[in-house]
């Protein structure tokens, strides 16, 4: 079985009139050829389709897309929508339920979201080419996570997700875990994400794929299990100064019942005009950039320096977001920011490390060197 997995998909800033058949066909043209070469395909549906949902109070943007925009994913030919992410709950409970129903009505299998926690965490089982595949989709604890009696996305959890993987392994030939998490725009995965992905492999996952960082990240093999730490965007229209926002890759999984999963990546560039599969020199450059990303987190000194520097730069940026740092209003922007910092695993780990280093005086002039390296990586440079 050939299984293609794509990163974040969110169509925004368009009117019904702009989403013409010609435009959507052009957006889908190259991607649909790639999807057609696979037996099964999945994308990260990082948006909401709703008429009755209302924006929740949260830290960060409330995403919503026109129903018509899903036609792009249909034209590409995707089979499955992975819905565990930090935006599935942006338009409230109604938005979650309407989105799930709308995706199903349009022929998509849905994984990673549900009317309650029990339903949200259920694996999606698919049988193709004589292989029974279990797909598990989960996300870090930001806004919109499902609860016992509340709709939302499936949460990632060291213990619970591990047991879901182990149970799925008993009922399927292969298990693929698709995670939504990480630090946005960070070209290297955080330490805790690396541990979590390796733990999934040790629990029985046959491949682990991560999205959310809005930039490509590297990969490694652990116990014969391929782990890809960041697909980057697939088709996500938003303003971003970081050049690597435009670049990503799809992961093509070659699945055989009695052999480890192997993966081939297909790099692409996304613009407002569409998703363009890279070829020739453009592909060669991306592969060199990707190889560089793979080496960075294997170089202990470099990785530690980049991870420490990321916290410093993040604090500089976030400090400018709030002029009035008061917690008196529990629904205020700063209070919600603090909530998300504590509850989201990537944010919490980042700031815990930053403040430990700050209080112990561990930063030096070297930190600025690593901040510069991060900026260069964000600008899609080969060092």
pLDDT of residue 322: 56
Mean pLDDT, the chain, integer: 94
Which tokens is 124 given?
């999606």
In tens, the pLDDT along 27-76 reads 999 999 999 999 999 999 999 999 999 999 998 899 999 999 999 999 99
Range in 157-166, 327-336, 356-365 with the lowest mean pLDDT:
327-336
In the predicted model, is pLDDT for residue 326 greater than 80?
Answer: no
Q: How confident is the model at residue 148, as a pLDDT?
A: 97
191: helix, coil or strand?
A: helix
**pLDDT interval class at 327 (50, 70, 90):** low
Whether 190 contacts 349, CB under 8 Å: yes
Q: How far is CA 123 from CA 33, 171, 197, in A?
A: 28, 10, 17
Q: pLDDT band for position 317 (50/70/90)?
A: low
Q: Once rounded to an integer, what is the mean pLDDT over residues 315-319? A: 63
What pLDDT does residue 321 have?
56
What are the residue ranges spanned by the domains of the chain? 2-278, 300-378
* pLDDT score for 156: 98
- pTM metric for this prediction: 0.96
The pLDDT, as a whole number, for residue 88 is: 98
Report how far residue 168's alpha carbon sits from residue 190's, in angstroms, rounded to the nearest whole number: 27
- pLDDT score of 379: 94
Query: What's the rounded Cα separation, in Å, for the pair 210 and 34?
Result: 20
Helix (H) or strand (E) holding 347: helix 345-359
Q: Is-contact 137 103, C-beta < 8 A?
A: no
- DSSP-derived 3-state class of residue 305: helix
Query: Tell me, what's the pLDDT at 316?
Result: 64
pLDDT of residue 142: 96
* pLDDT exceeds 90 at position 332: no
Q: What is the CATH number of domain 2-278?
A: 3.60.21.10
Would you state the pLDDT for residue 338?
A: 86
Average pLDDT (197-206) is 98
- Predicted confidence band of residue 21 (pLDDT cuts 50, 70, 90): very high
Share of the chain above pLDDT 90, in %: 83
């Amino acid at each position: 079985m050939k299984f293609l997995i794509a990163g974040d998909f969110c169509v925004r800033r368009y009117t019904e009139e702009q989403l013409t058949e010609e435009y959507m066909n052009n957006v889908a043209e190259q991607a649909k050829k790639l999807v057609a070469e696979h037996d099964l395909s999945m994308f990260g549906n990082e948006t909401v389709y709703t008429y009755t949902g209302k924006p929740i109070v949260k830290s960060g943007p409330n995403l919503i897309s026109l129903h018509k925009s899903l036609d792009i994913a249909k034209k590409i030919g995707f089979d499955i929508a992975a819905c565990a992410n930090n935006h599935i709950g942006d338009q409230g409970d109604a938005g979650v339920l309407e989105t799930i129903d709308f995706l199903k009505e349009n022929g998509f299998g849905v994984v990673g979201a549900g009317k309650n926690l029990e339903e949200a965490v259920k694996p999606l089982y698919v049988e193709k080419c004589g292989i029974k595949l279990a797909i598990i989709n989960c996300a870090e604890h930001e806004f919109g996570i499902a609860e016992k009696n509340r709709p939302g996305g499936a949460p990632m959890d060291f213990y619970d997700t591990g047991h879901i993987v182990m149970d799925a392994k008993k009922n399927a030939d292969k298990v693929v875990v698709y995670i939504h998490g990480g630090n946005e725009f960070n070209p290297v995965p955080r330490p805790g994400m690396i541990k979590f992905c390796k733990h999934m492999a040790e629990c029985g996952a046959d491949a682990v794929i991560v999205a959310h960082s809005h930039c490509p990240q590297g990969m490694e093999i652990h116990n014969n299990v391929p782990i890809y730490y960041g697909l980057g965007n697939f088709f996500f229209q938003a303003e971003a100064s970081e050049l690597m926002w435009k670049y990503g890759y799809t992961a093509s999984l070659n699945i055989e019942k009695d052999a480890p999963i192997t993966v081939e990546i297909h790099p692409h560039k996304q613009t407002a005009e569409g998703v363009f599969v890279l070829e020739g020199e453009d592909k060669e450059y991306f592969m060199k950039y990707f190889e560089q990303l793979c080496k960075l987190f294997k170089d202990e000194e470099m990785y530690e320096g980049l991870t420490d520097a990321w916290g410093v730069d993040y604090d500089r940026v976030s400090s400018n977001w709030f002029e009035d740092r008061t917690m008196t209003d529990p629904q205020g922007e700063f209070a919600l920011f603090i909530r998300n910092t504590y509850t989201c695993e990537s944010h919490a780990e980042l700031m815990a490390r930053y403040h430990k280093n700050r209080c112990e005086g561990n930063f030096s002039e070297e930190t600025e060197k690593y901040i510069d390296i991060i900026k260069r990586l964000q600008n899609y440079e080969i060092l």
